[in-house]
């Protein structure tokens, strides 16, 4: 019920995203890059691994989960598998952002249900491309160059 309430109360003009990575600096750069990619009104939640992410998802509805692969306790693949087995969470798209670059791993992410994949290092353009593919154009039509965010891309 709490999830449903959050869903109804959510402002339809903004997105809420959960960023899952064991590296605090990487979570910070992902958030800044997403904002610089035109998704400036996005609200961000953060988690340090898959288990912490599931805890957050138990209380909050998000429009997108962005997850790393290589994390202690529960990695990104396990997180996707758990989400896809859950009646409610399976509807949330998952974008994998990781250093794992082998074709076999990328195919495995997609097979398990990931909506997209971005390899580190990434540019704002690659992030924007994937977000737009999954969520559509940002409401404010912000451009990378036109961003008000203090970010020197």
Partner 1 sequence: MKEALKAAMTTSISEVLETMFFMTIEATEDTEWGDLTDTAYGEKLFVSKIDFHGPLSGSFFFMVPESILSAMTEMFMGMEAGEVTESHLSGTISEAINMIAGNTFSKLDDQTVFNLQIPEILETASPPPTAHPPGKEAIFIRIETPGGNLGLLLFYSVKLRV
Name residues contacting partner 1, limited to 33-72 (CB under 8 A). Answer: 70, 72
Question: Taking the CB of residue 136, how many other CB atoms lie within 10 A of it?
Answer: 8
Angle at 16 between CA 15 and CA 21, to 5 degrees: 130
Nearer to partner 1, 129 or 151 (CB): 151
102 binds partner 1 (CB under 8 A): yes
Least separation in angstroms between residue 122's CB and partner 1 is 7
Least separation in angstroms between residue 22's CB and partner 1 is 8
111 binds partner 1 (CB under 8 A): no
Interface residues with partner 1 (CB under 8 A)?
Answer: 22-26, 28-29, 32, 70, 72, 98-105, 119-123, 150-152
């Amino acid at each position: 019920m709490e999830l449903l309430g959050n869903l109804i109360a959510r402002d339809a003009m903004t997105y809420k995203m959960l960023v899952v990575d064991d590296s605090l600096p990487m979570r910070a750069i992902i958030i800044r890059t997403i904002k610089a990619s035109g998704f400036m009104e996005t609200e961000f939640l953060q988690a340090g691994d898959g288990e912490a992410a599931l805890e957050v998802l138990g209380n909050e509805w998000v429009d997108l989960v962005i997850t790393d692969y290589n994390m202690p306790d529960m990695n990104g693949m396990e997180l996707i598998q758990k989400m896809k087995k859950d009646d409610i969470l399976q509807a949330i798209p998952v974008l994998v952002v990781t250093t794992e670059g082998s074709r076999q791993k990328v195919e495995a992410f997609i097979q398990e249900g990931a909506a997209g994949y971005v390899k580190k290092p990434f540019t704002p353009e690659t992030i924007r491309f994937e977000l737009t593919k999954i969520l559509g154009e940002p409401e404010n039509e912000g451009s990378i160059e036109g961003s008000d965010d203090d970010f020197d891309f």
